[in-house]
Structure 1
């Protein structure tokens, strides 16, 4: 273009007006304007002069920056500095001021970065005002997340958390019911191919078969192609044709009928852009890091489908250099400045030297700083009636949140009556910003619940409790804390948040249970050495099906420990049983029963017949705190063992104990002949069962009568055995998220 201009004799262009000094613009643009000047085009500088009233604080600031005069600021409202702790506080105050606003504020220009402008938009929309909608990038918008989230699930070993994030997208290719069922199954048993995963698909197929024809249900096979597919090693990566096929899936989902409108159009365009990008690469395979970066880049470049500017006299710009004409009122966030190349340049000095050696001239850092300073002054000078500077402390870096304009006129700002505390204003009913009132009406508030000893049971929960089917785990919760059981198990109160894979120790425990079930069948105890071999084979298979997160790099040490300890522990268990003449009667035995007002359902890990003829229940535990289980037995608080004993043979000759997989020990009371470590128990399992059944009867009676339920270590009235079992009432609770309403002190 520059060469063409130099050869041209006539150009249909008379004048070009530059906002920046021609000597400060980048070299390429400087050459272009030089060629235009040689072709006869007049190149001139845009006039930059103060536009504020002379007798106002704004005019005094402008003259100080223009000619260096120093006149004290009087606080007349034409110049204000809003200082806030967070951008949220600042955006609320600015929106309140704009809504309350001065009549002469039409034509307001907001200079703010995209994240701050998003907060302002939310605040002004809540007050019925038009939004600015200057945010042109939105990688976090629903449909735009589908492609990057899907790409994150392509690799092996399987990243279950990535699959869960894909299933829980707000705008997903899968129906919400399907995604919820699959996410629930993965959170329970994180792997593709285990029994819980299979049960989830069977449920979806039954629902599909029962759905009426013409309901628009695409079917389980179509849904499964988004989850169950061949996965690839992160390096060398995925074949290019597979990436194109995945992009095609996303495009077909986003625009099933080729429609070019709607909120998912940008997702289809993003998939098409990624297809075009990978098609020109001279590679047969794309590594995981490369394709993930490309997908994120495509998402960040997509326009926001749900953000549209609304009709208004006000405008928003991201940088001060974009304000080149007079504006009545300017609201300016402190982070919206043009930074110098030393702060933003992506090139190292060596790279700059190489580029300049081949004729690519780089911008001069001194000229860039002059250009940034000129743009800052230009924004100040173009404010006609009012300038509001916003400083956010928590967003600040080394400058402490100080605005660039303050730095240029520090002497003028010292002790000037122009400061406004936004955070304090949000707690005040009336405050004055830039000469105008902000009036806020205090809404009535309700105090949060205070911690107390007992809480009244809502009458509506009585029928829920009566219909409940308990398990050994839920009854154990009831014995430890009736309040937590009532809120969590009965009322269904749970911490908010997305579904995630279980923690590592929980995964290893579930894996160990599944390995034990595959190694021990009903009948004679197998040879211990063969048990070890079968346990190792089962572990290698089951870790993929039900504990996939253990195969990720960050879990390498934990998996290595489990792979060594679990087979060894299964061999030790087989040897303990064989040496004591026990016979395996079954593993993972499902039982249910009704005992008075308590209906119970449970799954017993292992039942064996001892040499003496008595039955024994073995509850497998993977724990790092074996003393906790010993304390349960010794204090008569082994509720799970008591429940399993009741389910197996109520009142019969049945013993029970814990097999600690990690420690390779079988612990139990003195009557368990199989135990390798005996613990003196304070009471029998029958007494423990009667105590927990009494607790449940007490809470049911309290629910019907509108009585009270006690928190933590307190017991119900009339359950003296439960009181002694729970121990010292002053001891604090651990690992509980209800401590804010429980009177038990924290540790």
Structure 2
């Protein structure tokens, strides 16, 4: 039996490609060789990955050792910080020493270094019969067991060919090879790559690398075109060729700004040259090159992509968020936004939209949203009662489960049940998806992500079962998930016939006996991947001690030498053409060139690399050598910038448009100042997809502050809270956590305590200041978030309905007065300017509606006395600042001076609102839509020179705030 052994031969793909069927031979990695030999000696090979369980078992050993040890071990501080991580590190050291042949089970001698002596004591504790500690066998344990059984000589004679130099294997592999040789098996190295036979660019670099690496001294083999070739040339000419590059196409560097540019270029080359089929080296398995090839109609490489970002795997690390109180809104948002999740997608979508606007749960709005969803399901008739019951159970299982405080401990049973439910769902979901594939007569998918998720959930359950503790804290749960959370390889497309031969490790470029040489190779990602440093795990005295016993593990020098040896393989094995792909950015991040690029620069004179470099981004320029005898024909594409905003555009169907039955004050402002927003949203119904992310900080604080004030004023109105500072402060303290949980749970999360305290203090001061203004000026609360409605033109004008943040009333000197206060979180300067320029449209409309005092159309609107005076004001909550035109409603506030009194300004503004509204509808009747922004301002001023500007509202000069249609009008180009 022939064995081809290599450190990267765990993936049997090699270049040059091995024969399709190897007769009486196998391609194996060291772990594969171990498993192969175990079958002949009746030694079991683990069927599943037990690394996580081994780590937990060794953690228990470390815990037990702390109880029996007379002095603190060296790992104590690290163990207190992270028990599993420390156990993982110490277990790997144990396995490394056993792999090197160190007798760890024996009693440590006097000269044994202290840290290694601790490992001796841990091993003795593990092997003792008076405890229940156990440890699954790892690769080192299996290796030592195999070595002890090799004396039976049950396996067939082996002829082993090793790819790497023998001293670069691990000590355990070297021990195994020595033992096999002693039994009569042969071990020999695969031959080194032959010296280049051509005097081309690739051959020049290869000879320099061979000389530096010590493979040979000066290339003793004949070289075509040299003194030893058939066509003799002078030694000077040969030397000159060795010192420079000619750009003959044998060695090519492809450069580009992004890796996607390189992929498109290579795919076009391969499409246009069907006879050019080089091999490909992809050291990082991603889809960029494969996608470009498929786009050009070429066979897929079938690259298995490995990532932790798989939607199905994201579930595992998000479900634990449901265990703790308060809930982490960001993680819940991620959960409900996943493509694959154990929750109905329609309900999850509703939740995501709700959380984006109101980051809190279980308040009145949340309950109304959930129950409204289930009522709709009952009414649509398309969802059966059983399906509705299943969706309801899913909701209850995740959102109505018992939760533990973040500083508490979760019972292990609850956590295990959660992983069990997740495992069962993953298996059921995979079955249902495969059934649906069959029903729709499409290719049945394997849905490997769900299989991996179920396996990882199962592994988490096994890990919990192995732990002696009965409960876990928050950090322990997160660490447990990290221990079992592993990326899942996924084949997006299978490898197709006729695709390029592909390898995924430099050392997989290895010529087996009897195979053709590797002629052409594309090194796709010729960038830095390896770490540029290695640290020794052992102190110098420990290394001397281990070496004295012949059990020294591989250190940094071995790692560096092995990495350097492996990186040379693709260059030295390639015979005819090597293409190095060197992007400046990958996935948007800057990358460094491969270390061999520095060797390439040093091997030739300055500027020589320009002759072999093709700049893919230099479209239309004939730079660099030809790769396939031709170059993709780049055609410069003229840049056509998007059109700039136009002052007006025409929509013919708008001529038949009619006013809506009911408008909101904010929509009225859009119609008056920025009509394109009103047309797009309310006439054309162009609605943007909601961005499912938590509301911004200012928006969140604005919503919360309104909620606090609304609830507080309702309590004051009902008499449950006194208009006293202490009473206001006490109410906010008592209700803050509840209101934050319902509407702003992000403030309750870990790390948000300073912001939460600051917000509550701001609200205490601001709420009392508002209540003080109300109390000192003799006002009573008529309504908070009160619905106000009326007609723009009394007796038949546009009907408008809105909600005023705060409506106050009083009777002073026999006169009934009302005050409308608009609450704002911030923006003191903005609202001062609105008052100063008479642009407070909403307040003006609310004042008019109160004066109209329309008869109530429902029970929720009681009749009020007709007021003789209506005041308006803004209250900026963050600054506890009341803004108004005068002090008639509130004394000792900040006023905005004007030439006329407030009543006159309100009447004038209302008149201008009506005139502007009529003017806009005249434009709509002609099919004209105005686009108002900074860029169109000059054009609009020219168009409107003849307008009676004094009769209309003063138009804005800047772009609209919060405009969802900036790209449609040309502001985004």
Q: Which TM-score bucket, shorter chain as reference?
A: 0.7 to 0.9
User: Hey, what's the Cα distance between the residues in 1 that align with 2:167 and 2:308?
Assistant: 37
Paired residues in the alignment total: 739
1:250–1:670: structure 2 CA closer, same or farther, 3 Å change rule?
same
Aligned to 1:191: 360
User: Hey, what's the Cα distance between the residues in 1 that align with 2:244 and 2:825?
Assistant: 71
Aligned to 1:688: 909
User: Hey, what's the Cα distance between the residues in 1 that align with 2:757 and 2:846?
Assistant: 32
Contact 1:733 1:744 in 2 (8 A): no
Alignment of 1:319-358 (within 5 A): 319-325=505-511, 326-335=517-526, 339=530, 343-344=533-534, 347=537
SS in structure 2 of the partner of residue 654 of structure 1: strand
User: Hey, what's the Cα distance between the residues in 2 that align with 1:598 and 1:346?
Assistant: 80
Aligned to 2:806: 606
Contact 1:657 1:672 in 2 (8 A): no
Aligned to 1:318: 504
User: Hey, what's the Cα distance between the residues in 2 that align with 1:695 and 1:347?
Assistant: 79
SS in structure 2 of the partner of residue 300 of structure 1: coil
1:230–1:100: structure 2 CA closer, same or farther, 3 Å change rule?
farther
User: Hey, what's the Cα distance between the residues in 2 that align with 1:120 and 1:599?
Assistant: 60
Instruction: State yes or no: 1:567 paired with 2:789.
Output: no
Q: Provide, for residues 16-68 of structure 1, a one-character-per-residue CA deviation record: whole Å limited to 9, x for no partner.
A: 11111112222222111121122221111111223866254333333333354
TM-score normalised to structure 1 length? 0.87
Aligned to 2:755: 558
1:208–1:71: structure 2 CA closer, same or farther, 3 Å change rule?
same
1:722–1:670: structure 2 CA closer, same or farther, 3 Å change rule?
same
User: Hey, what's the Cα distance between the residues in 2 that align with 1:584 and 1:93?
Assistant: 71
Q: Provide, for residues 118-174 of structure 1, a one-character-per-residue CA deviation record: whole Å limited to 9, x for no partner.
A: 211221222222332433422222222222232345433322122111111122333
User: Hey, what's the Cα distance between the residues in 1 that align with 2:474 and 2:482?
Assistant: 12
User: Hey, what's the Cα distance between the residues in 2 that align with 1:124 and 1:164?
Assistant: 36
Aligned to 2:263: 91
* 1:437 Cα deviation after fit: 2.9
1:302–1:334: structure 2 CA closer, same or farther, 3 Å change rule?
closer
Aligned to 1:368: 559
Instruction: State yes or no: 1:269 paired with 2:461.
Output: no
User: Hey, what's the Cα distance between the residues in 2 that align with 1:385 and 1:324?
Assistant: 16
Q: Provide, for residues 356-415 of structure 1, a one-character-per-residue CA deviation record: whole Å limited to 9, x for no partner.
A: 599974313323333222222221122233211111223599995255155256324751
Aligned to 2:99: none
Alignment of 1:506-585 (within 5 A): 506-521=699-714, 522=717, 526-529=722-725, 530-585=727-782
User: Hey, what's the Cα distance between the residues in 2 that align with 1:514 and 1:476?
Assistant: 24
Contact 1:482 1:712 in 2 (8 A): no
Aligned to 1:410: 602
1:647–1:348: structure 2 CA closer, same or farther, 3 Å change rule?
farther
* 1:223 Cα deviation after fit: 2.8
SS in structure 2 of the partner of residue 375 of structure 1: helix
SS in structure 2 of the partner of residue 537 of structure 1: helix
User: Hey, what's the Cα distance between the residues in 1 that align with 2:337 and 2:545?
Assistant: 46
Q: 2:837 aligns with which of 630, 635, 649?
A: 635
Contact 1:479 1:639 in 2 (8 A): no
Contact 1:113 1:335 in 2 (8 A): no
Contact 1:474 1:485 in 2 (8 A): yes
User: Hey, what's the Cα distance between the residues in 1 that align with 2:495 and 2:149?
Assistant: 38
Question: Which 10-residue stretch deviates more, 454-463 or 391-400?
Answer: 391-400
1:493–1:467: structure 2 CA closer, same or farther, 3 Å change rule?
same
* 1:320 Cα deviation after fit: 0.4
Aligned to 1:387: 578
SS in structure 1 of the partner of residue 693 of structure 2: coil
User: Hey, what's the Cα distance between the residues in 1 that align with 2:503 and 2:335?
Assistant: 34
Structure 2, unpaired ranges of 5+: 1-142, 212-217, 220-241, 435-444, 512-516, 854-866
Contact 1:712 1:742 in 2 (8 A): no
Alignment of 1:626-665 (within 5 A): 626-650=828-852, 653-665=869-881
Aligned to 1:421: 615
RMSD of aligned alpha carbons: 3.9
TM-score normalised to structure 2 length? 0.68
Aligned to 2:124: none
Instruction: State yes or no: 1:38 paired with 2:182.
Output: yes
User: Hey, what's the Cα distance between the residues in 2 that align with 1:464 and 1:290?
Assistant: 63
1:531–1:9: structure 2 CA closer, same or farther, 3 Å change rule?
closer
User: Hey, what's the Cα distance between the residues in 1 that align with 2:824 and 2:566?
Assistant: 65
Structure number, greater radius of gyration:
2
Q: 2:786 aligns with which of 586, 589, 605?
A: 589
User: Hey, what's the Cα distance between the residues in 2 that align with 1:509 and 1:287?
Assistant: 35
User: Hey, what's the Cα distance between the residues in 2 that align with 1:266 and 1:38?
Assistant: 42
* 1:621 Cα deviation after fit: 2.7
Alignment of 1:432-471 (within 5 A): 433-439=626-632, 447-452=640-645, 454-459=647-652, 466-467=659-660, 469-471=662-664
User: Hey, what's the Cα distance between the residues in 1 that align with 2:887 and 2:329?
Assistant: 44
1:213–1:11: structure 2 CA closer, same or farther, 3 Å change rule?
closer
SS in structure 1 of the partner of residue 253 of structure 2: strand
Q: 2:335 aligns with which of 163, 166, 186?
A: 166
Alignment of 1:139-178 (within 5 A): 139-178=308-347
SS in structure 2 of the partner of residue 570 of structure 1: helix
* 1:719 Cα deviation after fit: 6.6
User: Hey, what's the Cα distance between the residues in 2 that align with 1:9 and 1:523?
Assistant: 93
Question: Which 10-residue stretch deviates more, 245-254 or 52-61?
Answer: 52-61
1:740–1:618: structure 2 CA closer, same or farther, 3 Å change rule?
same
Q: Provide, for residues 409-428 of structure 1, a one-character-per-residue CA deviation record: whole Å limited to 9, x for no partner.
A: 63247514210112224x77
User: Hey, what's the Cα distance between the residues in 1 that align with 2:706 and 2:545?
Assistant: 62
User: Hey, what's the Cα distance between the residues in 2 that align with 1:231 and 1:722?
Assistant: 62
User: Hey, what's the Cα distance between the residues in 2 that align with 1:349 and 1:20?
Assistant: 28
Question: Which 10-residue stretch deviates more, 318-327 or 222-231?
Answer: 222-231
1:732–1:497: structure 2 CA closer, same or farther, 3 Å change rule?
closer
Q: 2:283 aligns with which of 99, 112, 116?
A: 112
Aligned to 2:413: 241
* 1:200 Cα deviation after fit: 0.6
Aligned to 1:401: 593
Contact 2:460 2:484 in 1 (8 A): yes
More contact order relative to length (CA 8 Å, sep ≥ 6) = 1
Aligned to 1:253: 425
Instruction: State yes or no: 1:679 paired with 2:679.
Output: no
Aligned to 1:79: 251
User: Hey, what's the Cα distance between the residues in 1 that align with 2:545 and 2:824?
Assistant: 61
Contact 1:331 1:389 in 2 (8 A): yes
Aligned to 2:33: none
Q: Provide, for residues 83-136 of structure 1, a one-character-per-residue CA deviation record: whole Å limited to 9, x for no partner.
A: 122222222222222333350416x2223312xx32112212222223324334
* 1:496 Cα deviation after fit: 7.1
Contact 1:112 1:336 in 2 (8 A): no
User: Hey, what's the Cα distance between the residues in 2 that align with 1:433 and 1:646?
Assistant: 79
Contact 1:607 1:615 in 2 (8 A): no
SS in structure 1 of the partner of residue 365 of structure 2: helix
Q: Provide, for residues 309-331 of structure 1, a one-character-per-residue CA deviation record: whole Å limited to 9, x for no partner.
A: 33444233332012213433211
Q: 2:954 aligns with which of 725, 733, 738?
A: 725
